Amino acid sequence: MDREQEEMQFLGFFDIYKESYKIIFTWRKIFTQITLALILPLSFIFLAHIQITDLIFSNIIHDEIQLDHTKAGSPRSKKLNDLISSEWTYFWLFKIAYFTFFLIFSSLSTAAVVYTIACIYTGRDITFTKVMSVVPKLASVVSVLEEACGFKAMEKSRALIKGKLLVTAIIFFLLNLSLFLIQVAFKILVVHGRSLGMVSRVSYGIICFLLLFILFLFGLVIQTVIYFVCKSYHHENIDKSALSDHLEVYLGEYVPLKAKDVQLEQFQV
């Protein structure tokens, strides 16, 4: 990130995408390592959840249809009721496990990307080992580099995007639209694409997987770039020296950052 802070406010729609791509390409080694360690598992969990949820739910629907055509009170009816009850239990246990692991890897991925870009911004040396040693500490904090959390963080975010609301809204709409299209394509071509054959389904599954982890990585980088753009637009200076000192804290004993010391909030939409 070689742009001066005051220049960031002038970045438009395409400039933000270009800057995000430039950051990833310039630092492709560290982002590749982060992707392999965190974003790939996140993408796999997301797609596996779609496949397994459909499989369990299809079995439940099938058994409920069978139950409707079975005489009430018969041994078969009791057996089907017990089976459906067990399937619903498995369904909700799987949902809980999915959301738990998805939240963990999502938080770790966000922390890793934001910390990496913060180090790039301050000119600090950054390695994958250093990132991974810091991420568990950052993942325990709601805001990566800010003490604000919950409604307070959301309130700061709304104030931050004023003036860049249109650009921000369009970018996040396109990111969410892309995620939706990948999800729909995976359901149609892989989950419900039995007529296409196994080879085609596997091929489409790999393509969706590749597109998904690229989208996740690109989205996290764009989110951080937008933060710098909004901060610059509001002329809120970020003290690189102070930020660099606080980043160093994460390598030793954890000390929460204070907004008065480092003007850097996590951008949330």
**Domain residue spans in the chain?**
5-249
DSSP labels, the chain? --S-HHHHTT--HHHHHHHHHHHHHHTHHHHHHHIIIIIHHHHHHHHHHHHHHHHHHHHHHHHHHHHHTS-TTSHHHHHHHHHHHHHHHHHHHHHHHHHHHHHHHHHHHHHHHHHHHHHHHHT----HHHHHHHHHHHTTSSSTT-S--HHHHHHHHHHHTTTSHHHHHHHHHHHHHHHHHHHHHHIIIIIS-GGG-HHHHHHHHHHHHHHHHHHHHHHHHHHHHHHHHHHHHTT----HHHHHHHHHHTTSS-----TTT--------
Instruction: Report the amino acid identity of residue 110.
Output: T
Cα dist from 106 to 52, 77, 117, 219, whole Å: 20, 43, 17, 12
Among the residue ranges 30-34, 75-79, 203-207, the one predicted with the least confidence is: 75-79
Residue 224: predicted pLDDT? 84
pLDDT at position 234 is 67
Convert the pLDDT of each residue in 29-72 to its tens digit. Answer: 999 999 999 999 999 999 999 999 999 988 889 888 888 888 77
Residue corresponding to tokens 């054959």: 197
Q: Which long-range contacts does 210-213 make (Cβ < 8 Å, 24+ apart)? A: 211/178, 211/182, 212/43, 212/46, 212/47, 212/179, 212/182, 213/35, 213/39, 213/40, 213/42, 213/43
Closest by CA to 258, choosing from 157, 149, 147, is 147
- In terms of Cα–Cα distance, which of 19, 34, 44, 28 is closest to 205? 44
CA–CA distance, 192 with 189 (Å, rounded to integer): 6
> Is the model's pLDDT at 114 over the cut of 80?
yes
Give pTM, 2 decimals: 0.79
Q: Taking all residues of the chain, what is their mean pLDDT, rounded to a whole number?
A: 79
pLDDT score at 174: 94
> Does the pLDDT value for residue 236 go beyond 70?
no
pLDDT at 269 over 50: no
Rounded CA-CA distance 233/107 in Å is 27
Compare 266 and 238 and report the one with higher pLDDT.
Answer: 238
